[in-house]
Structure 1
Amino acid sequence: MFLICGEALFDLFGDASSGDNLSFDARIGGSPYNVAMGLARLGEEAAFFGGISNDAFGEKLVQKFRAEGVSQDFVLRTDYLTTLSVVQKDEHGHPAYTFYGTEAADRMITVDDLPIFAKPPQVLHVGSYTALVEPVATALKGLIRRERDHTLISFDPNIRPTVEPDMGLWRSNTEALVPLTDVIKVSDEDLALIMPGEPAEDIARSWLARGAGLVIVTRGRDGATAFTAKAEVSRPGVKVQVEDTVGAGDTFQAALLAGLKELGATGKSGLGNLDEARLNRLLEFAVKAAAITCSRRGADLPRRSELEKEWHALK
């Protein structure tokens, strides 16, 4: 089982309108929420741990999980409200987010809410702002420490300046999580925010030295680079007509985790045995998946049937 931990929210896409009115297209979102849905669409057993409101937005979030086949066994329903994220796109389709989520359901998880597993998850993934904001961040770190000896830990910093503008906090939090993490996926844009001027390859190698087994730096349209103690591999991006890039990183993350399972690399020794050829196939699979999402509006992640060629090529 893949256990994906973090936020579940609604993205509100603003559309131009006349007069004093504002029109919004509300889409289900939240980075970890998207990753869980992406894994389910790729045919994997995915479960979600996080707070989801009892409000109308929360009910939609739960209904979507049900329809997509994501387990809700570890979802915590509460009366706190759902986080709303207003999304504005630039001319390249890149989103900027404004969050309305103080004391929202996805943040108000405590250590007392941590799930107990009959069987430990194979992979535990955390990321985005719920890895930073309290009290949920402390709860998730506690869960990682409890499970890390028998579970592969995955982390995506996914920096959100409109949630917390202090980049020093983001950096220190990321650095604190690195030694607890086996797989780190991070965008070059996020690294430029929290570690400006530092070469991405130097950061990746330093994280490997501190205990990570695999670090992947994504570069948007320019593809991605994978770093292990034994190999460094890059793959170019896939050209598509970009509708927007919302959910592209989450798609890459879901494809990465599913691909690691297919390669038999969901343990620390398996990560260490990844050679250049398998890393190339893994990146190609994840890059192609992300490109499909970029061609569609919002976080509309691909299904395995859309990636059959790349999936069969993994091994």
Structure 2
Amino acid sequence: MRVGGGGRHPLGTLGDMHAPSAFPSAFVVGEALVDIVVDGDSTVEHPGGSPMNVAYGLARLGVTTTLRTQIAQDQRGRALEEHLAPVGVVLDPASRSAEHTSTAVATIQPDRHAEYEFDIEWAPGELALPDGVGLVHTGSIASALRPGSDDVAALFAESRPRALLSFDPNVRPGVTPDREAVLATVDALASVVHVLKLSDEDAAWLHPGLLLDEVVDRYLEAGATLVAVTRGAEGVLVATATDRLSLPSQPVDVVDTIGAGDSFMSGLLFAILSRGLADGVRSGVLGRGDLEAVAATALASARVTVSRAGANPPTPDELAAALG
């Protein structure tokens, strides 16, 4: 099976990028939960949740990152905090407000993809952007499940003049099955954000019958300045108003796909920040070479993750090796 980055790109090593101390800081809003992974007769618990995975991936790559989520002060909540601490994710103190820590049962199928069943609490209340933040990201359940999704939408509308905004719908029909309601939420956020990433499965569920290029056109016209559609083994379609690229994959032995899309997302955002491209993305001015470079970095990040169990994104050295 082929998953991940490849094709021609101007990246050699991460040495071309800016020093980590120069990165804008990130504020990630959304669910943190425990993945209960069922693989045959084995059951193992892992930290999970799409926004939390993105926060972890960014911090692991050297981006100062704060996470605003909703967990309980229970055993699973403490396990999530212990997971985040070593990479330096700062947990917003208001995150410790849930009655119980959310869970997702991920059952590995014979083709090694995961199917999910969720027990989620998401009602964070009023959200405020911390001072000095250069990137705000959200996605998945946090962007679609009320009442918290309304708080997220308000935060993003308020933050657009101040930061680069990123969104990954990462739809979960098992949690929010009303497609029209989810589509309305996605469309509303897509009109505010700069970076929109979705999978081909997301696109098929949200827009049945539309070609991927038509989905990309829809969101560029809505106001997003960079749209990426991941295509699993086929690579990625990535576009701005002026350029559109299809980057192929490279071979990798897949252990499972848990967290692959989140690792793509954190790799994409890391590449934008580390190359000093945030202002260019916000203004819609991004050269073709830079577009190819950030997409290649994102694909390489996902490729590392699928090569091992669970949502385990790369370190800087691992990402450099994957790009090498």
* Normalised TM-score (structure 2): 0.88
Aligned pair partner of 2:109 in 82, 85, 90: 90
The equivalent residue for 2:95 is 76
Helix, strand or coil: the match of 1:207?
helix
The equivalent residue for 1:20 is none
Q: Is structure 2 residue 140 aligned with structure 1 residue 121?
A: no
Aligned-pair Cα RMSD in Å = 1.7
Identity, % of aligned pairs? 34
Q: Structure 2 CA distance, aligned partners of 1:257 and 1:310?
A: 17
Aligned pair partner of 1:108 in 123, 129, 146: 123
**How much does 1:69 deviate?**
0.6
The equivalent residue for 2:17 is none
**How much does 1:73 deviate?**
3.4
Q: Which runs of 5 or more residues in structure 1 are unaligned?
A: 18-22
The equivalent residue for 1:134 is 146
Q: Is the 8 A contact 1:3 1:121 kept in 2?
A: yes
The equivalent residue for 2:21 is none
The equivalent residue for 1:8 is 32
The equivalent residue for 1:214 is 226
Helix, strand or coil: the match of 1:172?
helix
Per the alignment, do residues 5 and 234 of structure 1 end up closer, same or farther by CA in structure 2, a change over 3 Å counting? same
Describe how 1:147-226 pairs up with structure 2 within 5 A. Answer: 147-226=159-238
Q: Is the 8 A contact 1:284 1:310 kept in 2?
A: no
Q: Structure 1 CA distance, aligned partners of 2:224 and 2:231?
A: 20
**How much does 1:309 deviate?**
5.2
The equivalent residue for 2:118 is 99
The equivalent residue for 1:38 is 57
**How much does 1:16 deviate?**
3.4
The equivalent residue for 2:69 is 50
Q: Is the 8 A contact 1:145 1:180 kept in 2?
A: yes
Aligned-partner residue type, residue 32 of structure 2: A
Q: Which runs of 5 or more residues in structure 2 are unaligned?
A: 1-24
Aligned-partner residue type, residue 54 of structure 1: Q
Aligned-partner residue type, residue 9 of structure 1: L
Runs ≥4 in structure 1, deviation > 4 angstroms? 268-271
**How much does 1:79 deviate?**
4.4
Per the alignment, do residues 269 and 60 of structure 1 end up closer, same or farther by CA in structure 2, a change over 3 Å counting? closer
**Which one is further off, 156-165 or 274-283?**
274-283
Per the alignment, do residues 259 and 275 of structure 1 end up closer, same or farther by CA in structure 2, a change over 3 Å counting? same
* Normalised TM-score (structure 1): 0.91
**How much does 1:10 deviate?**
0.5
How many residues are treated as equivalent by the alignment?
Answer: 300
Helix, strand or coil: the match of 2:70?
strand
Helix, strand or coil: the match of 2:202?
helix
The equivalent residue for 2:4 is none
Bigger relative contact order, structure 1 or 2, given CA contacts below 8 A and separation 6+?
Answer: 2
